[in-house]
């Protein structure tokens, strides 16, 4: 009887075990199917930036492209500055060829009234030449700065002050001779635009008096600096300018630093030139045709 009962129980237990395994397989399959469904739904709903990983190489490539574009833009600007400079040089050369003979006329009798329209036109041409030189100098400085070739040193025997170089010349000269001497040194008679600059010049200039780059040769009483900038600072001696005697159209600086309008044909022992530091020199400084004797 016991054997019969045991034999009938074992098939029932095997049947139950198979049923449980089948159920477990179905549950596992359903769970995997649900998990895959959730993953697919999440991928469709998630914005693309969250699913994509950053691409360092792509970002670096974009940065390099921006840098290259900026370099190309700077090269284009540099080329344009060079073209403008060449154009101004050509204009300057034309004016110099037209005005060279007039320089000789002005040096032989530079301080007499100009009675004829022809000489007045020559004077206007020389004035235009000065202004053109100023524009070329400014463009030259911009070009050198853009190329990174500037420096702040001055030639031998020049003194550096506030980003400019100064030369304190000595030896008797008339105003026009002092002007041409400055041109030979690739500079110009000094223009003074501040009290600090005036104090510096007073300390270094010749104590017997020096020519500076101020004159009213064109219109009486309308003083103009050699650098064409306005008269934004002045240091006149009390009672000056007075245009006394035979006409005083050029300006000199006394030992005290005060200014005085003087006869342009007078000889002074001192004159002051100014120029940009080395690397920023005006490449078109004009050399006079000749300097008057004595």
Question: Does the global pTM surpass 0.85?
Answer: no
Tell which residue, 195, 200, 177, has the closest CA to residue 271: 177
* pLDDT tens figures, 119-148: 677 777 777 777 787 677 667 666 655 555
Q: Which residue has the higher pLDDT, 60 or 251?
A: 251
* pLDDT tens figures, 216-232: 988 888 999 998 888 99
φ/ψ (deg, to 5) at 205 = -75, 165
Q: Which residues contact 58 (CB under 8 A, 6 or more apart)?
A: none
Q: For the residues 55-84, what does the mean pLDDT come to?
A: 76
């Amino acid at each position: 009887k016991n054997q019969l009962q045991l034999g009938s129980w074992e098939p029932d237990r095997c049947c139950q075990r198979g049923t449980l395994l089948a159920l477990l397989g179905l549950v596992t399959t359903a769970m995997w199917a649900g998990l895959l469904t959730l993953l697919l739904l999440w991928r469709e709903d998630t914005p693309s930036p969250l699913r994509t990983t950053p691409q360092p190489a792509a970002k670096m490539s974009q940065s390099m492209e921006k840098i290259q574009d900026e370099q190309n833009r700077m090269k284009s600007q540099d080329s344009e500055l060079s073209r403008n400079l060449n154009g101004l040089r050509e204009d300057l050369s034309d004016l110099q060829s037209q005005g060279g003979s007039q320089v000789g006329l002005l040096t032989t009798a530079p301080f007499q009234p100009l009675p004829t329209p022809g000489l007045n036109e020559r004077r206007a041409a020389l004035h235009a030449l000065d202004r053109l030189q100023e524009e070329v100098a400014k463009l030259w400085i911009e070009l050198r700065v853009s190329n990174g070739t500037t420096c702040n040193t001055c030639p031998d025997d020049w003194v550096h002050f506030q980003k400019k170089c100064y030369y304190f010349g000595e030896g008797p000269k008339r105003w026009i001779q002092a002007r041409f001497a400055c041109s030979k040194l690739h500079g110009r008679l000094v223009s003074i635009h501040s009290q600090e600059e005036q104090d510096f010049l007073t300390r270094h200039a010749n104590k017997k008096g020096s020519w500076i780059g101020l004159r009213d040769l064109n219109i009486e009483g309308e003083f103009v600096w050699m650098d064409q900038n306005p008269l934004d600072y002045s240091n006149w001696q009390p009672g000056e300018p007075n245009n006394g005697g035979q006409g005083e159209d050029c300006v000199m600086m006394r030992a005290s630093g005060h200014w005085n309008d003087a006869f342009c044909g007078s000889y002074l022992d001192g004159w002051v030139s100014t120029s940009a530091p080395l690397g920023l020199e005006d490449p078109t400084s004009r050399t006079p045709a000749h300097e008057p004797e004595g």
